[in-house]
Chains A and B, each alone.
Chain A
Amino acid sequence: EAQVTQNPRYLITVTGKKLTVTCSQNMNHEYMSWYRQDPGLGLRQIYYSMNVEVTDKGDVPEGYKVSRKEKRNFPLILESPSPNQTSLYFCASSRRTDSYGYTFGSGTRLTVV
Chain B
Amino acid sequence: DAKTTQPNSMESNEEEPVHLPCNHSTISGTDYIHWYRQLPSQGPEYVIHGLTSNVNNRMASLAIAEDRKSSTLILHRATLRDAAVYYCILRDRDNYGQNFVFGPGTRLSVLP
Binding site for B on A (CB under 8 A): 31, 33, 35, 42-45, 48-50, 56, 58-59, 90, 92, 94, 96-98, 101-107
Please classify the interface of chain B as helix (H, G, I), strand (E, B), loop, or mixed, using the class held by over half of its residues. Answer: loop
A-B pair count, CB < 8 Å, reads: 57
A107 near B97: Cβ-Cβ < 8 Å:
no
B44 near A56: Cβ-Cβ < 8 Å:
no
B35's nearest neighbour on chain A, judged by CB, is A101
Kindly state the separation between the CA atoms of A80 and B101 in the bound complex, as whole angstroms. Answer: 27
Kindly state the separation between the CA atoms of A45 and B44 in the bound complex, as whole angstroms. Answer: 13
Query: Interface size of B by Cβ–Cβ distance < 8 Å?
Result: 23
Interface residues of B in 1-51 (CB under 8 A from A): 32, 34, 36, 42-46, 49
Please classify the interface of chain A as helix (H, G, I), strand (E, B), loop, or mixed, using the class held by over half of its residues. Answer: strand
Given A56-B98, A98-B96, A106 and B42 contact (CB-CB distance below 8 Å): yes
A101 near B98: Cβ-Cβ < 8 Å:
no
A48 near B98: Cβ-Cβ < 8 Å:
yes
A42 near B104: Cβ-Cβ < 8 Å:
yes
B100 near A98: Cβ-Cβ < 8 Å:
no
Q: Offer 19 A-B interface pairs, CB within 8 angstroms, sorted by A.
A: A33-B100, A42-B102, A42-B103, A42-B105, A43-B102, A44-B102, A45-B99, A50-B97, A56-B97, A58-B99, A90-B44, A97-B93, A98-B32, A98-B91, A102-B44, A102-B46, A103-B46, A104-B45, A105-B43
